[in-house]
Structure 1
């Protein structure tokens, strides 16, 4: 026996159920969108505590001619907003160095990189350098001082990992030093790395240096340069406390006599000359643990240089002409470069 009106009631119930389902799905979708909008581009870099301003990597801060803005700013609205404090790269660096103070060491465990040039390509070996520092050195912070933010695959891959102690701060490349015009971007970097270390202290690394282990055993010297060869110290790695006497003398004396046509005179030969002239100064030269020198680059890329006692190895990438497919090639590369790359990326040589 069929009850009158039953089919209509069933249809009505189904319609109501469908409407409720659609409303729930719509609310869920709106919630997801809202979460995505509120989610910061990068995770927090320092923990909030003891009244310190918590930081996060975030765009839109310090204006510059090139358009890059510091991607670090406080998320404490009271400090940054209501008090009207202008957050500058200098204030950010001051906060980083304060957070990384360790009275057991002269040199803070903060690694500085410099990235100048809006058209530079951030390659795999740049990515590998920073990854080697983060995984093998375990620094308190890594700071990239840049006039332009890279914008290609390997940079995005690095940023996507959201390392909490990784920072990008704005730094203009200088045009002059003691009334001398600086045209080569490499020389601009040479000047700025000294200025950063004199002011803040820390560990400067070229973006083609692969870190192998902690630098802690070197952090109680006032300043450290690696030996490269007779007459040359390697400024691709500099470990220094702030206000080092040696670095201040190097900065003043060397760049008062800046030679723009001499590739390594001010940055690598002049430190050697000061070391020999003033052996009493606060300089430690690390003789073996950052070898091999530039003219043995083949030992790194194609040979098996014994690297396990090193603190780091400098890659002389300008010598590499062949194209290598990264990171797939790392798995089968039977060389020092392959071994260190596997250690860095997969914790196994």
Structure 2
């Protein structure tokens, strides 16, 4: 009889133990897949920071990311001829988009001579004027091309002060706040180059200081090697020193006819998912930019006009379209 009782207990224990094993397996598998699903989009640590330390019921403390890049905005304006100082509506639009979207602590205007046009006078109260030098050489290598002189000034400024450098034809569409936590940031232009029309960095960022040192081999006759191709090559050498964004962050649509047409002639493109748009003024000016006015932005439906229309709200309330032309000349002045 005792033998039968012992066997009955053993028979009863079998399904009980199987149930415990099954429950334990399902429980841990479920938690494992939840972890994998979370990790596919962001790390647990990042998710915790997003939710906020206030939601934590424990006594732990989580270090927040440290902002490395000061919220300073830099422009470089290097017209060396005091009689040739253009500053037009498109430049006002670009500066306004950056200042009102990024909301920098200061906006530095590094120049040799100040423009005197209406559009410059309109933006000037928001600028801190910094007189800069005329670049003639770097590491003993001669520099004649104005764009290369600008490259050198922007790199020196960002090295010494840190912040955000923008070309004069960059429209800013979203805040840059989440780009201020890395040492140095650039965006892809095309497939194998990093464009220096947008630079974001902390003072004396290692990548930038190395890049400047590479100018010891500078050759003014090579149009874009040191300013565009070299940083791309360096990003492969020092991937931990630079945050590289894809080409849709700042430089899309591209500068070719198809890209310019998409931005300025159609409504088929949305700028809503990028930080900024480089207007490629050296290629788009004659065909598109010089024909754009506040009135055309308000009335003509294009991808570009729809993206920048909101910035017209920063024009003076008494602004009269019939008074000043694209270049800021007073049309009523005899």
TM-score by length of 1: 0.65
1:109 aligns with 2:71: yes
Q: Highest relative contact order (Cα 8 Å, sep 6+), 1 or 2?
A: 2
Contact 2:85–2:116, Cα closer than 8 Å, also in 1:
no
157, 163, 170: which one aligns with 2:131: 170
Contact 1:173–1:189, Cα closer than 8 Å, also in 2:
no
How far apart, CA to CA, are the structure 1 residues paired with 2:87 and 2:250? 23
Partner of residue 269, structure 1: 229
* Cα deviation code 1:230-259 (max 9, x no counterpart): 221111000000111000111101x11112
Partner of residue 38, structure 2: none
Give the deviation of 1:336 after TM superposition: 2.5
Structure 1 residues 276, 193: CA separation in 2 closer, same or farther (over 3 Å shift)? Answer: same
Contact 1:212–1:312, Cα closer than 8 Å, also in 2:
yes
How far apart, CA to CA, are the structure 2 residues paired with 1:325 and 1:191? 31
287, 294, 300: which one aligns with 1:327: 294
What is the total number of aligned residue pairs between the two structures?
A: 239
1:278 aligns with 2:238: yes
1:127 aligns with 2:86: no
Contact 2:85–2:114, Cα closer than 8 Å, also in 1:
no
The structure in which a higher percent of residues are helix is: 2
Q: Which runs of 4+ in 1 moved over 3 A?
A: none
202, 207, 215: which one aligns with 2:176: 215
* Cα deviation code 1:75-121 (max 9, x no counterpart): xxxxxxxxxxxxxxxxxxxxxxxxxxxx9410011110000013131
234, 246, 251: which one aligns with 1:291: 251
Partner of residue 74, structure 1: none
Q: How does 1:119-158 map to 2 (within 5 A)?
A: 119-158=84-123
Give the deviation of 1:334 after TM superposition: 1.6
How far apart, CA to CA, are the structure 1 residues paired with 2:184 and 2:303? 28
1:300 aligns with 2:260: no
Partner of residue 140, structure 2: 179
Contact 1:147–1:173, Cα closer than 8 Å, also in 2:
yes
How far apart, CA to CA, are the structure 2 residues paired with 1:335 and 1:233? 28
Structure 2 unaligned residues grouped into runs of 5+ = 1-64, 315-334
How far apart, CA to CA, are the structure 2 residues paired with 1:226 and 1:298? 22
How far apart, CA to CA, are the structure 2 residues paired with 1:317 and 1:301? 12
**RMSD of aligned residue pairs (Cα, Å):** 1.7
1:247 aligns with 2:208: yes
The DSSP-based 3-state class of the residue aligned with 1:120 is: coil
The DSSP-based 3-state class of the residue aligned with 2:220 is: coil
Q: How does 1:6-155 map to 2 (within 5 A)?
A: 104-117=66-79, 118=82, 119-155=84-120
Give the deviation of 1:325 after TM superposition: 5.3
How far apart, CA to CA, are the structure 1 residues paired with 2:245 and 2:129? 29
The DSSP-based 3-state class of the residue aligned with 2:86 is: coil
Which segment drifts farther, 304-313 or 194-203?
304-313
The DSSP-based 3-state class of the residue aligned with 2:286 is: coil
TM-score by length of 2: 0.68
* Cα deviation code 1:133-177 (max 9, x no counterpart): 121111111111000000112112223xx33xx211111131100
